[in-house]
Amino acid sequence: MESEAIGTAASHTDFSLMSLIFDADPIVKLVLLSLLVASVWSWMVIAEKTFSLGSARKKAKKFEEAFWSGRTEDFDMRPGQVAGDAASRVFASAAREWSDAKRGVPAPAEAAAIVSRAERSMRAAVDREISKAGGGLGILATIGSASPFIGLFGTVWGIMNAFLNIAAQQDTSLGTVAGPIAEALFATGMGLVAAIPAVIFYNKFTGDLTKFGDQLDTFSQDVLVRLSRRASDATRD
């Protein structure tokens, strides 16, 4: 008889996804809504960073190839006229010193000063480009770390409501307990759904950003070596 009663209670309870959401406690609904917003936001950031980081690395590579092939003479490096890629902006930060070295500098001390100014300018430019390219990663880190705890809060709240329902109705049947507990576990699941992609892509983009920074650092060091050689040759002439 008891098993029949449990089966009857369960048959009259709708455990579909939409039913769990609409029948949930207002606090649990708020938790689910916040996790849904966080998940959508993280995927928007993921899509934007996938495109922007990939595009930045390709454009930087293209400029490097043009630079080493000698085609940078065609590039306008005046302020406001720089091409829209990171490598060209890094080079433009030291373009004045590059031009001075090409014209010829008589004093060795001035040649060293040119290289030093170029190095500082390019280092600052690389830091700006890395900071710009890394925008949005903090959002992924926050979502990835906070979402499980937000979901856990919804779970704790839902289980608390389940026990309150048991106490109020003096009924421990499946129909009384299953709904609130299912809502509670669903909140945890939503937290993981929001957090897992955010953490995975945060780690991926962090690695991509490190590679991009290394690419710009290598390019800037190569430019400095060439600039130093030009300046040294100019002092000997």
What Rg, from alpha-carbon coordinates, does the chain have? 30
Cα–Cα distance measured from residue 195 to residue 94, given in angstroms and rounded to the nearest whole number: 42
The backbone region for 161, taken as left when phi is positive above 0, alpha when psi lies in -120 to 50, beta otherwise, is alpha
| Greater model confidence, 177 or 197 | 197
The domain tally of the chain equals: 1
Cα–Cα distance measured from residue 128 to residue 162, given in angstroms and rounded to the nearest whole number: 52
Cα–Cα distance measured from residue 23 to residue 186, given in angstroms and rounded to the nearest whole number: 12
Domain of 194 in residue numbering reads as 2-236
Average pLDDT along the chain: 77
Cα–Cα distance measured from residue 100 to residue 122, given in angstroms and rounded to the nearest whole number: 16
Q: What is the pLDDT of residue 39?
A: 94
Pick from 11, 13, 2, 4: nearest CA to 176: 13
Q: What is the pLDDT of residue 69?
A: 74
Q: How confident is the model at residue 166 (pLDDT cuts 50, 70, 90)?
A: confident
**CB neighbour list of residue 13: distance below 8 Å, 6 or more residues apart:** 174, 175, 178, 179
pTM beyond 0.85: the answer is no
Coil vs helix vs strand at 15: coil
Q: What is the pLDDT of residue 81?
A: 47
Least confident of 41-55, 175-189, 203-217: 175-189
pLDDT in tens, 121-160: 888 888 888 888 888 899 999 999 999 999 999 888 888 8
Q: What is the pLDDT of residue 35?
A: 93
The top-scoring range by mean pLDDT among 26-30, 52-56, 173-177, 190-194 is 190-194
The top-scoring range by mean pLDDT among 76-90, 91-105, 178-192 is 178-192
Pick from 22, 38, 228, 30: nearest CA to 146: 38
Q: How confident is the model at residue 22 (pLDDT cuts 50, 70, 90)?
A: low
Cα–Cα distance measured from residue 150 to residue 188, given in angstroms and rounded to the nearest whole number: 8
pLDDT in tens, 46-69: 999 999 888 888 888 888 877 777
Counting Cα atoms < 13 Å in the Cβ hemisphere of 154 gives 30
Query: Looking at residues 196-202, what average pLDDT do you find?
Result: 95
* DSSP sequence for 49-110: HHHHHHHHHHHHHHHHHHHHTTGGGGS--STT---SSHHHHHHHTTHHHHHHHHH----HHH
